[in-house]
Structure 1
Amino acid sequence: MQLVFIDDSGQSDPRREHLGELVSVGAVIFPEHQVSEYTKEIDLLRAEIGMPDDQEFKWNSPRGSFLAKAGGPTVKEQRRKMLEIAARCEVRTAVVIWDRSKVTWDKHEAAGEILKYLYERIERHLRTYDERGVVIADVPGGGAADHSKWLAQALDLTTAGTRYAKPERVIMPIVTAPSHHVPHLQLADLVTAATTAAFAGHTSGLELMDMLKPLARTNAYGDIGGTGVVLWPPDLNDLYFWVLGQKSWWKGSNECRLGPSDGPFAQPGRPFQNSDGMPE
């Protein structure tokens, strides 16, 4: 059995040129026997830094909270230690990132679509390990009506699946829980937010990529792009080169080269082929 914890994130103002608002959803996947071990280690980390029991680890800590007051060096160290614990607990991750400026759907429509993409990665992961799984999501923001709508979308996944993934391995409807009481959801917040920040071009995420990459799911070729990190639309795929160092991307049995071409000009529809889009 594996337990999957999911949370959403976003970046309203990416630093990279050619990017609009990013919305994302990510999963951290635990072998069952590591769930309690992670809780123990996080409790030790909390005691080590003197964090009160009634506060949670958040990427964007509320004003006045312990982490907001602690300052940058403490927060950076805390994030790295959380990812170290995740690695010791054999966690695997997947994050889906959608650029709303290129596919201008309503935010709720986009959220439903990226949840489908994430669900497909969860089903494939469980199939790879011949496991069953339970998915727990952070309670969505927006109140009771939005919560009910989100649960209905999630129920469709676990009853009908998607075009590319049948509901075979996730054994029950996706349930929600408040992240305040579930440290594994707090890790999902960190992984999803940090990965999204890195692809948006923010230092806060880029400086964690050395720890995020070993956690991310990979395909049969050892590549993260398209498996542990999914970008949509495909116009963004060259960012797998700039952020992950990945030189090719496989679509079925076809290998697509990523990054700079031999010539000076980018192919149409590939804004990041010859540049990472970062301001000089």
Structure 2
Amino acid sequence: MVFVDDSKTDQVPRAGLGQLVALGAVFVPEDALGPYAADLAGLCAELGVPEGVELKWNPGRAAPQFWRGAGGRLRPALRRGMLELAADHGIRSAVVVWDRGHLDWPMRDRVEPAVLAYLYERIERFLAERDALGVVVADEPGHAGGSWLRAAKELTESGTPHVVPERVVLPILTAPSHLVPHLQLADLVAAATTAAVAGRPAGLELLEPLARLARRNEAGRIGGAGLVLWPPQLMDLHFWLFGERVYRRRGREHPLGPAAAPADRPGRIFQRTDGLGRTA
């Protein structure tokens, strides 16, 4: 079972980035569906989260009174606990993050379909690696739901130029996230990863459990497999986030960070700095 949710942030401390848009998936083995939900309920009880309260990265103004009165230590403990439980149950993840500061295409017409296609490719590839079939469940889209669902249906029928639709056996389904704890995990993974890319402390402090969850390629690297950054000029962030020194794209291996030649690719502003004050 694959659960999908989106994220977006304009709060971007990392110099050189603009608004970030993301879509994330968590891959839950069939035999982990019940155990993860049960362990998550146990974690909530341990931390004093009332039964039935939806677990969201940003509960918003309409959130239950509990979140408005929750202490500053509860959310970090809950977020880390959710991610660590997921990793312990063999759940894996993939997230696509699009920087509109580098490529400001129209959101609904171009960005959202492109991000969905990139994520769909990672879903098909992950299922192929596991020799598995999958069902994809997404959080109910908050806007333009009809167009989003049509794009999703086209993917499951026609695939992309790089992936044939073989492993996802149904059109992408939707469900309300407050009823599905695995969608709440997808919300956390997408939002925490987006926050880490943005350079926000709340996301950066979760890099370790996010790395445990992330899908990896045959060389054991997250870049391009468990985390896709677009456009490609952002590839050096894989060095600053996960310490990776090589990024493979279109059959070519690109040195990252301090290992990259100064003129390796124009526009790669993170070759020598992380945008947060650290330099190589």
Check whether TM > 0.5: yes
Match of 1:49 among 47, 50, 53: 47
User: Could you list the per-position Cα deviations for residues 89-148 of structure 1 after superposition, in whole angstroms to 9, with x for gaps in the alignment?
Assistant: 110000000011222211112011100000000000000010000000000112xxx111
User: Could you list the per-position Cα deviations for residues 218-256 of structure 1 after superposition, in whole angstroms to 9, with x for gaps in the alignment?
Assistant: 001100000000000000000000111100011243211
Percent identity of paired positions between Structure 1 and Structure 2: 49
| Equivalences for residues 142-153 of structure 1 within 5 A | 142=143, 146-153=144-151
Cα 1:65–1:187 change in 2 (3 A) is farther
Give the superposed CA RMSD.
Answer: 1.6
| Equivalences for residues 134-145 of structure 1 within 5 A | 134-142=135-143
Counterpart secondary structure, 1:10: strand
| Equivalences for residues 111-150 of structure 1 within 5 A | 111-142=112-143, 146-150=144-148
Letter in 2 for 1:188: A
Match of 2:204 among 203, 206, 222: 206
* Of 64-73 and 251-260, the range deviating more from structure 2: 64-73
Query: Structure 1 regions of 5+ residues with no counterpart?
Result: none
* Of 234-243 and 248-257, the range deviating more from structure 2: 248-257
* Structure 1 residue ranges (4+ consecutive) displaced by more than 4 angstroms after TM superposition: 261-267
1:80–1:208: 8 Å Cα contact kept in structure 2? yes
Letter in 1 for 2:89: C
1:55–1:65: 8 Å Cα contact kept in structure 2? no
Residue in structure 2 matched with residue 18 of structure 1 by the alignment: 16
Cα 1:54–1:266 change in 2 (3 A) is same
* Of 120-129 and 13-22, the range deviating more from structure 2: 13-22
Counterpart secondary structure, 1:120: helix
Residue in structure 2 matched with residue 31 of structure 1 by the alignment: 29
1:43: how far off?
1.3
1:266–1:273: 8 Å Cα contact kept in structure 2? no
Structure 2 distance, partners of 1:206, 1:178, is 28
* Of 43-52 and 263-272, the range deviating more from structure 2: 263-272
1:52: how far off?
2.1
1:93–1:228: 8 Å Cα contact kept in structure 2? yes
Counterpart secondary structure, 1:72: coil
Letter in 2 for 1:111: E
Structure 2 distance, partners of 1:252, 1:155, is 27
Structure 1 distance, partners of 2:4, 2:111, is 16
Residue in structure 2 matched with residue 101 of structure 1 by the alignment: 101
Structure 2 distance, partners of 1:21, 1:70, is 28
Are 2:80 and 1:80 aligned? yes
Cα 1:255–1:262 change in 2 (3 A) is closer
2:2–2:134: 8 Å Cα contact kept in structure 1? yes
1:66: how far off?
1.9
Letter in 1 for 2:101: S
2:140–2:174: 8 Å Cα contact kept in structure 1? yes
Structure 2 distance, partners of 1:172, 1:224, is 27
1:62–1:68: 8 Å Cα contact kept in structure 2? no
Residue in structure 1 matched with residue 274 of structure 2 by the alignment: 276
Residue in structure 2 matched with residue 155 of structure 1 by the alignment: 153
Residue in structure 2 matched with residue 216 of structure 1 by the alignment: 214
User: Could you list the per-position Cα deviations for residues 191-240 of structure 1 after superposition, in whole angstroms to 9, with x for gaps in the alignment?
Assistant: 00000100100000000001110110000110000000000000000000
Counterpart secondary structure, 2:28: strand
Letter in 2 for 1:80: R
Counterpart secondary structure, 1:133: coil
Structure 2 distance, partners of 1:27, 1:257, is 27
1:271: how far off?
0.7
Structure 2 distance, partners of 1:32, 1:164, is 27
Counterpart secondary structure, 2:254: strand
Cα 1:250–1:264 change in 2 (3 A) is closer
Cα 1:267–1:234 change in 2 (3 A) is closer
* Of 202-211 and 49-58, the range deviating more from structure 2: 49-58
Residue in structure 2 matched with residue 164 of structure 1 by the alignment: 162
Query: Structure 2 regions of 5+ residues with no counterpart?
Result: none
Counterpart secondary structure, 1:6: strand
Structure 1 distance, partners of 2:264, 2:162, is 31
